[in-house]
Amino acid sequence: MKSRLVKDIVNSFVSIAKGLWVTMTNWSVLRPAVTELYPEELPKLPDNYRGSPTLPVNPETGRNGCIACGACARICPEQVITVVMDKSDPKDRKPAKFEIDVSRCMWCGLCMEVCPTKCLQPGRDFELACYSRGEMVYDEAKLEEMGGVKEVEANQP
C-alpha cells in the first residue's frame, strides 16, 4: 500500500515536471514573438497579393476600360458582379450599372482573368470592416476610387 502511494506521488511530480518543461521550452521570453502589432504596424503585403477587384481609371481617357460585355458576371462562381450595359450610345460601350458585392466575393480572380480589356485589377485592400452589408456593395465610382489611375494593358488574342 505504501509503495503504491509513493509510486503515485512520484508519477505526479514527474507529470508536473514534464508539463513545466513543455511550458518553459515554449515560453515567449526565450523566443521572439511571431505576432504583429496590427493597427500600429500595417502588414507587408506580398507583390502577388490579390484583394477585391477594382476598376483603375485610364489616364488618357479619364474612365475605366469596361465595355460592359458581362463576361466577369457570367464567370463569377458566387454571382456577386452585376453589369448592365448603357444602351444610350451603341458606339460607346460602357456600363450603366457595375456593382460588386464584396461581402460574398471569394477573391478567386476569375473575373480578372476573363476580362477582355483587363479593366478589372486586384486591389491591395484588406481592411473591409463596415457596419452594414449595404456598404459592402461597391459601385463603379467606389471601384474606380479603389483602383486609382494607372495604365492597363489589354489582353492579346
pLDDT tens sequence across 74-96: 999 999 999 999 988 888 889 99
Model confidence at 35, in pLDDT bands (50, 70, 90)?
Answer: confident
d(CA 77, CA 54): 18
Give me the pLDDT at residue 156, please: 43
- Encode pLDDT of 111-155 as tens digits: 999 999 999 999 988 888 899 999 999 999 999 999 888 765 655
% of the chain surpassing 70 pLDDT: 93
**What is 53-147's CATH topology?**
Alpha-Beta Plaits (3.30.70)
Contact between residue 84 and residue 69 where contact means Cβ atoms under 8 Å apart: no
Q: For residue 157, what pLDDT is reported? A: 41
Average per-residue pLDDT in the chain? 88
From the CA atom positions of the chain, what is the Rg in Å?
27
pTM: 0.71
Question: H-type helices in 26-139, by residue range?
Answer: 71-75, 110-114
